[in-house]
Chains A and B, each alone.
Chain A
Amino acid sequence: MRSFEELLVSSASAHGHLCPGQVVGVRMAMLGCRLIDLDDPSRRDQIKKLIVYVEMDRCTADAVAHVTGVKLGRRSLKFMDYGIMAATFVNLETGEAYRVLSTEESRDLATLYAPDVGKKRQQQMEAYKRMPDSVLFRVQEVDLPINELDLPGPTRRKAACSQCGQVVRDGREMVLEGRILCKPCGEGAYFHHAREITWPDMNWAPGSKTRHAGDGGQEKACVLRNHLLLPREFGGPWQPVPEKHSQ
């Protein structure tokens, strides 16, 4: 693994800024990897052995992902939306899993570890570099059985929503009263009132000579009301035959 200083510079650059969260995240990742005996997780022979669960969507999470090389799309990074400054490092080969938590008291100890640094933010960053892992973190050994459907690798299951026809992968479909449903249909989504639109400027493809239109805003609004295509529940007059989406 590269040195702490090198990792910090590279992580801050990838994240967009250098902040105390980056220092904590880089160190959290270094400690996590040491705990599960992977000294260079982005190396070929180690990369498939690691899964990391982060419990917060903050600077620290980016640093942890950057240092370990785990990625959402490789299924090696899992996001658990707990709002807790912690990450769990799993060695898939040995089954060992360690949850590393950032301590709240480390913030209070900043003035003692970096009394020579004036500005609060700089002092915090410098202190986080100086205090040992035992003060910055607590570690728990945890049991973390991973469902086969969550492991890296090709898609192992596909199902189609019986209401809207959307294909759902990886066992993320719901079953409600015997019916298979996608999460938006089954329990509601993070968005509301989805209206299908047709946008004339969607003819661009890589390599095509068509330019993007400067302002498609007005035009998008016009075709919103293309009722012929919309099912009743979205304001249109028709019950459609569900379209089969294929990718």
Chain B
Amino acid sequence: MRLQDAVGTHLAHDITEIRPGEFKGPAFRQGHTVCEEDLCRLQRLGKNHLYTIDLEEDEIHENQAAVILARALAGDGIVWRDEPKEGKIGLFAGRNGLLKVDISALSAFNMVEEVMCATLHNHTLVRQGELVAATRAIPLVMKRAPIERAAAIARQNGCVLSVRSLGRARAGLLITGSEVYHGLIQDQFAPILTEKIHALGSQVAALDFAPDDAEFIAKVIQSQLARGCDLILLTGGMSVDPDDVTRHGIRLAGATELHYGSAVLPGAMFLVAYLGDVPILGVPACGLYHRVTALDLVLPRILAGEHVGRQDLAFLGHGGLCRDCPECTYPQCSFGKGI
């Protein structure tokens, strides 16, 4: 209808105003009753006609659709409000922790023409209140059926998005290497690893040293377990020299599962093993010289209770190359943003 005839009618949708560099947002909200004074502003926004909508029995409005979609996408640890802005609903972290995104469900959801949801990467560390995803329907008005189908697809594994809190581990640090053990060189690793562990909310419950001796290493691992450590990080002896016996030590200690090597640079010699339920991480020397390595990609996931196996280490490859920027901006970069 023409603008002049629109006084008294309700707006069918938010009307956006853009002042470049200044403001982009709703000048008028959906449902607003148009009055005489609005006409001037609407004209300035370039609106000479306004549209009303008559919904059919089986149709819904974009705002209703957004609510249906948000409800289906959001899982544990995700919060959102029933306040669509320009048809969009934001999904936020309800707690600190690790963002989990079900990528195949998300993609199947996005294949439904009438909907979309954009998210941060799977495995991103997020703080409470952070925006992690947003969803909306694409058309202004649509049939209910595809929206309900998209919602059903989002629920295929329960939900698409969730935030898992990081558990508080009692970590054991085991610094291996004969030169360090005998005091010939000073260890740099313990303070670095301690800081990383504290930053993730866990504590260091034990700190031990061992020479390049597989049996000695195995005994210390056992001892740390006996002292109540539920996560063990080993450094040193991860490379290819004949006296790099750390992983033999881990095996001797009784590891039931061992994956040596990750598709990450730096950190290709990273190791993940399991002794029963206890994760054992082998940290290669690059952890001394690089701010971020494979360890930083895997440790939050381990603390969030994930079982990291061979496939997970392999799938880090896409996005697993650190660009070694002069000024490191991790995690605001492509490193670790694979699957």
* Chain A residues proximal to chain B, CB less than 8 Å: 105, 108-109, 112-113, 115-116, 130-132, 134-135, 138
Contact = CB atoms under 8 A, between A and B. Distances in A.
B149 A134 contact: yes
Interface centre among B107, B315, B339 (most CB of A within 10 A): B107
B104 A113 contact: yes
Contact of A135 (B103, B108, B315, B339): B108
Contacts, number: 31
A134 B153 CA distance: 6
Interface in B95-117: 103-104, 107-108, 111
Nearest to B113: A105
B108 A105 contact: yes
B311 interface: yes
B165 interface: no
B153 A109 contact: no
Given A115-B339, A116-B311, A131 B149 contact: no
B108 to A, nearest CB: 4
18 contacts: A108-B111, A109-B107, A109-B108, A112-B103, A112-B104, A112-B108, A113-B104, A115-B315, A115-B339, A116-B311, A131-B104, A131-B108, A131-B156, A132-B153, A132-B156, A135-B108, A135-B153, A138-B149
Interface of B: 103-104, 107-108, 111, 149, 152-153, 156, 311, 315, 339
Contacts of A116: 311, 315
Contacts of B339: 115
A246 B15 CA distance: 78
A115 B338 CA distance: 12
Contacts of A130: 104
B237 to A, nearest CB: 31
A109 B104 contact: yes
A134 B156 CA distance: 8
Contacts of A109: 104, 107-108, 111
Contacts of B149: 134, 138
A105 B111 contact: yes
A112 B152 contact: no
A231 to B, nearest CB: 58
Nearest to A139: B149
Nearest to B106: A112
A112 B108 CA distance: 9
Contacts of A135: 108, 153, 156
B319 to A, nearest CB: 13
Contacts of B103: 112
Contacts of A134: 108, 149, 152-153, 156
A132 B108 CA distance: 10
Contacts of B311: 116
A214 to B, nearest CB: 58
Nearest to A130: B104
Contact of A112 (B107, B153, B156, B315): B107
A112 B157 CA distance: 14
B331 to A, nearest CB: 23
Given A105-B111, A134-B153, 10 more contacts: A105-B108, A108-B111, A109-B104, A113-B104, A115-B315, A115-B339, A116-B311, A131-B104, A132-B156, A135-B153
A31 to B, nearest CB: 13
B263 to A, nearest CB: 13
10 tightest A-B contacts by CB? A105-B111, A112-B104, A132-B156, A135-B108, A112-B107, A134-B152, A113-B104, A134-B153, A109-B108, A135-B153
Nearest to A114: B104
A51 to B, nearest CB: 26
Nearest to A116: B311
A116 B149 CA distance: 27
Nearest to B152: A134
A112 B105 CA distance: 9
Nearest to B156: A132
B187 to A, nearest CB: 38
